[in-house]
Amino acid sequence: MPKDNAPDTVSRLATCNLCEAMCGLRVDLAGDRVTGIRGDVEDPLSRGHICPKAVALQDVHNDPDRLRSPVRRTSSGWAEISWDEALDLVADRLAEIRDEHGADAVATFLGNPVLHSLGAMTHVMRLVRLLRTRNRFSATSVDNLPSQLTSYLLYGHQWLHPVPDLDRTSFFLVFGANPVVSNGSLMSAPNVSRRLRALRERGGRMVVFDPRRTETAKRADEHHFVRPGTDAALILAMAQVILTGGPARPAPYVDGLEQVRRALEDFTPERAAQITGVAADTIRRLAREFAAAESAACYGRVGVSTQRFGALCQWGIQLLNLITGNLDRPGGTLMSTPALDLVGGGQIDAGGYDRWRSRVRGLPEFAGEFPVATLAEEITTPGTGRVRALLTVSGNPVLSTPGGHVLSAALAELEFMAGVDFYINETTRHADVILPPTHVLERDHYDLIFRLFGIRDTARYTPAVLPKPTGALDDWEIFSGLAERLGNSGPRVPPARIVDLGLAAGPYDLTLAGLGDHPHGLDLGPLKPSLPGRLQTPDQRINAAPALVLDDIERARTELLTPRPATTRLLLIGRRHLRDANSWLHNSARLTKGRARHHLLMNPADMEARGLSEGDLARVQSWPGEVTVPVAGSDDLMPGVVSLPHGFGHVFEDVRLAVAREVGGASANDLTDPMVVDRLGGTSVLNGVPVTVGPAGES
């Protein structure tokens, strides 16, 4: 085996695209074989950091189960077909169904890795727009829709989102995020652990609110349990304390705070304490300490987005930063000034809300998409506009969206389905055709979206590490191939050219060639104040009190501030692990070895009350479904709360995932309810789901 510096080994620079941290990599090659993956110490953002997932890129690369050519489902199993045949077939069937039943009969679902693939980012929307369907869905509505909606309402653009200045803040206040494991989201921060250590060393502090004492909470100066789904009461009470007792010091370009103050009158710490389980004194004290801190950044992610008042939580988090003068100041939260500025350059849709509604349930669109919680019923409900064909791109909604088992059944009713993905997963197994793109090491990479959310402004373009296999297509070529067959006659502009143009139009006058002089990445410095100039609102001011939010505060006042009757049901929340990435990577032996990690975590007192012991199989039931999983006791769980990770529960009929067969587990989204969404925005409620838990043997 050639070692690091053996003469026949070369080392090439790449970027890990498995999460938002964008770690710089050195990939060791012996010929076309990947022999090792290490962190690139010269990357200005990641500075040598990697996590175990990076090394798994080579497992994905070498995985015999990864598709290398298109496949078609036949009565005798999957059959390989040529690219021309596959692209013709998909384009013809989509066009036929559209011509017969109208554009809305063809639906699209874009999964999370779209944001991590340069060619998908540059080319998928062209295809989606060409289909002219209103039935557009994505992972956004099980993820960051509340943040995007808030940014659209407050700052005038769904992707203009302030980033916590993690390296300089003196007070980091966290709701429902676990960045030590996730490495940050809408806050790209490789090696969060090191940065949190530095925070403490410079005399700063971190406070975390989470129903589980997480890996992040364990590094905090204070951690408080909060009853799942109730954070809005807590966050709004903190804002109320600051708006009534001070010190509030908003920027001069912020309007509407008097209206906000009046709307929040009932959100007292005492009322919030009853609902959230956090003591009123703690709420009051932390609000004052946050407001008085030299600099402070409030941040919240998946835990406070995918809950019943998720949008209100995200608005409240922005409000806390706004009223304390921490928006746009070093150590607070700042907009990035990216080298390639999709927002300022107008290359990406600013957003829009409730311009039309979904056919069956009347849910509002956001940024041209419907909430994915309504996809299954759009397929199964007869009538004009019924979804009869589906194109999925790098996603696995059967495991990642609420009521996944219901969606799985619905997919079988489609007249045609195609998936752009290099795995046959629980979703693409329903497809008639699967179109597999090249793997990330075989194509150029630039993070068009995540560079907007770096805790430092950096740019890094990494050319493909390995040659593209003969006949293989990149994501962008698949979308171009389909678009051309569906009538798009424009020239093909490759992603590299689009990046080059974007850099030239950006604030630093860069070019792709110029960036090539910085193969490890170009450091553009810490986050810089940029407001109000960067605001995309028509008057370049911030209206802190949008009517939609005021209405939702009223809904929270009546629905959330009223204590609920006691119940024996437990509240289900999610969980992420450093060696998982949503529903995939389970085919990497390197990542899946060791103790199983799909168990239901439960407070020992709740286990005892239900006659459950460590390792027992428990039956977990909710309104739409049930699963059977082993339980593990942990004091890290708030009493009354259970935790199950999503992305497990692999199905093997039709699916060729040899290693993942050993993984086991059940899908958390067989328990989540597609009928329950945050009414402001339509985000799925994936946390705080009521469940009953008992020994699996009993009925």
Ligand X SMILES: Nc1nc2c(c(=O)[nH]1)N[C@H]1C(S)=C(S)[C@@H](COP(=O)(O)OP(=O)(O)OC[C@H]3O[C@@H](n4cnc5c(=O)[nH]c(N)nc54)[C@H](O)[C@@H]3O)O[C@H]1N2
Whichever of 226 and 243 has its CB closer to ligand X, that residue is 226
- The count of chain residues that interact with ligand SF4, using the rule CB under 6 A, is 12
CB of 25 to ligand SF4, least distance (A): 7
Q: Does 23 bind ligand SF4 (CB under 6 A)?
A: yes
Q: Does 397 bind ligand X (CB under 6 A)?
A: yes
Beta strands in 104-149 (DSSP E): 106-110, 136-138
Identify which range of 15-23, 242-250, 491-499, 629-637 contacts ligand SF4 by CB under 6 A: 15-23
Identify which range of 136-144, 166-174, 410-418, 458-466 contacts Mo ion by CB under 5 A: 136-144
Q: Does 672 bind ligand X (CB under 6 A)?
A: yes
Q: Figure out which of the listed residues 59, 143, 165, 328 binds Mo ion, where binding follows CB under 5 A.
A: 143
Query: Residue for token digits 């990479």?
Result: 445
Q: Give the span between the Cα atoms of 427 and 374, in whole angstroms.
A: 16
Q: Give the span between the Cα atoms of 404 and 414, in whole angstroms.
A: 16
Q: Give the span between the Cα atoms of 671 and 686, in whole angstroms.
A: 9
Partner that binds at residue 50, options ligand X, Mo ion, ligand SF4, none, CB closer than 5 to 8 Å by kind: ligand SF4
CB of 144 to ligand X, least distance (A): 7
Identify which range of 3-11, 142-150, 504-512, 626-634 contacts Mo ion by CB under 5 A: 142-150
Backbone angles phi, psi at 543, to 5 degrees: -90, 105
Contact 80, 71 (CB under 8 A): yes
Q: Does 181 bind ligand SF4 (CB under 6 A)?
A: no
Identify which range of 20-28, 218-226, 261-269, 470-478 contacts ligand SF4 by CB under 6 A: 20-28
Q: Give the span between the Cα atoms of 290 and 184, in whole angstroms.
A: 21
Partner that binds at residue 124, options Mo ion, ligand X, ligand SF4, none, CB closer than 5 to 8 Å by kind: none
Contact 224, 278 (CB under 8 A): yes
Tokens coding 474: 């990149």
Q: Does 585 bind ligand SF4 (CB under 6 A)?
A: no
SS3 state of residue 693 = strand
- The count of chain residues that interact with ligand X, using the rule CB under 6 A, is 63
Give the x/- contact pattern for ligand X in 573-602, rule: CB under 6 A.
xx-x-x-xxxxx------------------
Instruction: Give me the residue whose beta carbon is nearest to ligand X.
Output: 303
Q: Does 18 bind ligand SF4 (CB under 6 A)?
A: yes
Q: Give the span between the Cα atoms of 14 and 447, in whole angstroms.
A: 12
604-626 b/e with 16+ CB inside 10 Å = b?
Answer: bebbeebebeeebebbbbbebbe
Q: Does 189 bind ligand SF4 (CB under 6 A)?
A: no
Backbone angles phi, psi at 108, to 5 degrees: -125, 145
Contact 111, 392 (CB under 8 A): yes
Q: Give the span between the Cα atoms of 59 and 38, in whole angstroms.
A: 14
Whichever of 15 and 135 has its CB closer to ligand SF4, that residue is 15
Which sign, positive or negative, has the C-alpha torsion 124, 153, 168, 509?
positive
Q: How far is CA 401 from CA 20, 148, 165, 485, 627, in A?
A: 20, 19, 32, 31, 16
Q: How far is CA 252 from CA 5, 322, 489, 529, in A?
A: 58, 11, 49, 14
Query: Residue for token digits 């090491």?
Result: 441
Contact 45, 22 (CB under 8 A): yes
SS3 state of residue 121 = helix
CB of 585 to ligand X, least distance (A): 9
Q: Figure out which of the listed residues 15, 112, 318, 587 binds ligand X, where binding follows CB under 6 A.
A: 112
Please, which residues have CB within 8 angstroms of residue 362's CB and are 6 or more apart in sequence? none
Number of CB atoms found within 10 A of residue 464's CB: 17
Going by their DSSP bridges, the two strands 617-621 and 689-695 should be labelled as antiparallel
Whichever of 57 and 522 has its CB closer to ligand SF4, that residue is 57
Q: Does 422 bind ligand X (CB under 6 A)?
A: yes
Whichever of 339 and 585 has its CB closer to Mo ion, that residue is 585
Site residues for ligand SF4, window 30-69 (CB under 6 A)?
50-51, 53-54
Contact 465, 12 (CB under 8 A): yes
Q: Figure out which of the listed residues 210, 341, 432, 636 binds ligand X, where binding follows CB under 6 A.
A: 210
Q: Does 15 bind ligand X (CB under 6 A)?
A: no
CA angle, residues 195, 641, 592, in degrees to nearest 5:
60
Whichever of 189 and 545 has its CB closer to ligand SF4, that residue is 189
Contact 451, 523 (CB under 8 A): no
CB of 20 to Mo ion, least distance (A): 8
Which sign, positive or negative, has the C-alpha torsion 633, 635, 636, 640?
positive
Site residues for ligand X, window 113-142 (CB under 6 A)?
113, 117, 139, 142
CB of 449 to ligand SF4, least distance (A): 14
Q: Figure out which of the listed residues 618, 686, 691, 693 binds ligand X, where binding follows CB under 6 A.
A: 686
SS3 state of residue 155 = helix
Site residues for ligand X, window 26-45 (CB under 6 A)?
none
Q: Give the span between the Cα atoms of 655 and 663, in whole angstroms.
A: 14
Q: Does 636 bind Mo ion (CB under 5 A)?
A: no
Give the x/- contact pattern for ligand X in 424-443, rule: CB under 6 A.
-x-----------x--x---
CA atoms within 13 A on the CB side of 41: 0
Whichever of 98 and 212 has its CB closer to ligand X, that residue is 212
Q: Figure out which of the listed residues 23, 343, 348, 393 binds ligand X, where binding follows CB under 6 A.
A: 393
Whichever of 329 and 646 has its CB closer to ligand X, that residue is 646
DSSP 590: H
Q: Figure out which of the listed residues 16, 45, 125, 570 binds ligand SF4, where binding follows CB under 6 A.
A: 16
User: Read out DSSP for 564-584?
Assistant: PPP-S-EEEE----TT-BTTB
Whichever of 259 and 634 has its CB closer to ligand X, that residue is 634
Partner that binds at residue 421, options ligand X, ligand SF4, Mo ion, none, CB closer than 5 to 8 Å by kind: ligand X
Sites of contact with ligand SF4 (CB under 6 A)? 16, 18-19, 21-23, 50-51, 53-54, 183, 190
Sites of contact with ligand X (CB under 6 A)? 19-20, 111-113, 117, 139, 142-143, 175-179, 181-183, 185, 209-212, 214, 226, 228-229, 231, 301-304, 307, 393-397, 400, 420-423, 425, 437, 440, 475, 573-574, 576, 578, 580-584, 646-647, 668-669, 672, 686-688
Sites of contact with Mo ion (CB under 5 A)? 143
